[in-house]
Structure 1
């Protein structure tokens, strides 16, 4: 119990004052847990507040349009999380009479809720004795106990989950789970942890053996794929031509501009690139370079170039995803961050200047 007691004592003194820690409402805790996946608290907190303000109940969430959900989600990345949340809210209203489940075995059935999230919600809302294992917990356990099994391997997950459940403080699982997660986030950080003032330092395997920077171990993932997307901006009569992205690729149901994807970065004056553009937008198409951006996703690096396009031809009967919108209407539509940033810089900033 020394490990658990030290963590809980540290937590009671050092914990951050976060709004979802003042409630056992499963819906509110669900919002916080999903928003904070792959997201730092500092970045996720404004989104949590925004979602709770717009959707104070799960019924409010369920009745929203997907476009509104994705617009509120804009900038967080991993947009499938927002779509899954919307689907889950509708399931809760339909199948659970609008009462958000607070037990693991019901939560795990819902879309977008995996083992970690189900354990967290059930632990924090109902006190169910489920160990929560996220990246912070993997790191604390790996360093303290000197575990070198890769945390993203099947054997590693099995080993760490078994240990986490053995260590779980059954008298107050919610308090212990919050403590170990917070300890990993604030004290046992991925880089430059302050080991000299760590209450677990004397017993920590990694600290005693000089392996703090080597643990935990992760199997290296495949290299990120590079993609080159060339966007063509058509602006007429205070309206801009936009496209709703379809299923089967990144940014599903977000809005961007007509584009041509190439296998490498192309100079706008390159003859092959000019021929490719004219084959898409017509032989009289005239385009000029605006700017380039790089957008980094988890598995892809997107190299983006923006061009102003004139004298183009579109077949709106065949390309149903294309539409003209005013800038004010565009602002209401969910966009990939790289598009949103461009719109702010190119349209609004230029207009103000």
Structure 2
């Protein structure tokens, strides 16, 4: 099989490419240049896609003895990931840029170009498992629960999964680093990248303000009483506690949390933690990965490393609703709602809203 190995310059993608070579595949390494003006070096574990990362990827490919290329996808990344990120915050939502990058770049732009060049699959260092059957392919959680990335892959289509290859799905991170050291890969001890790759200094609010401008507005309580002023609603997300900078404490002395963000009025509503509790999550733009019914018991995950929440889920072509067994907090519109049957991802949607109201849950076949 001809395999295109996406090599970020980190330890995971390097070992994934090595395992593809060991499996007898015809492997070519490719590093994605996603920034128009990349930094020369990474700042510890912050960011990625620097010139240092490109050099690390090339050195790993040299050790493995495979061809290596750099593909400039900076225009596509800027349009599909960065601009989307800014637009979502401007609309009062909280996007997940890693999920969007997987959907639009790694498994769309790269896969499409790879197929056009005669490759059969794209190999990455994601921690997730693929189970292939006679008539389907299943996406499952990784063996390493702490590193599991099935959530950010839940937006992929069945056709994309059929041409995906995740060699690290059955491994834990310590094993991967030890293997990299044994293979003589210089990235064996390189820190994992964290935060948002295109905001290497970690200042998300500053990044957004440079693109959206200063947009001061009111911070109000649930009754609409003005409590203070914010420097821009893009600085907040649902469930946030820190950074409100309200001089007067709440009447009961308890902390306040962000309950709602209204881009129309540029208002941030705050209140007690119990007001964050929701019982139903409504999703739009649904996508199925093996679930063909309309109603079933399942578990839903609402953030990349969040807990799986038992729920009853109803889905059709227009959207889905998840009625939670127990109330949850901090559900942010714009994030993904990924639906699991045990370890298997069976569907996903984009969170549109969450409410305290719940529909009457009618038991249905699994």
TM range (shorter): under 0.3
Tell me the TM-score normalized by structure 2: 0.22
Tell me the TM-score normalized by structure 1: 0.23
Which structure has the larger Rg? 1
More strand by share: 2
More helix by share: 1
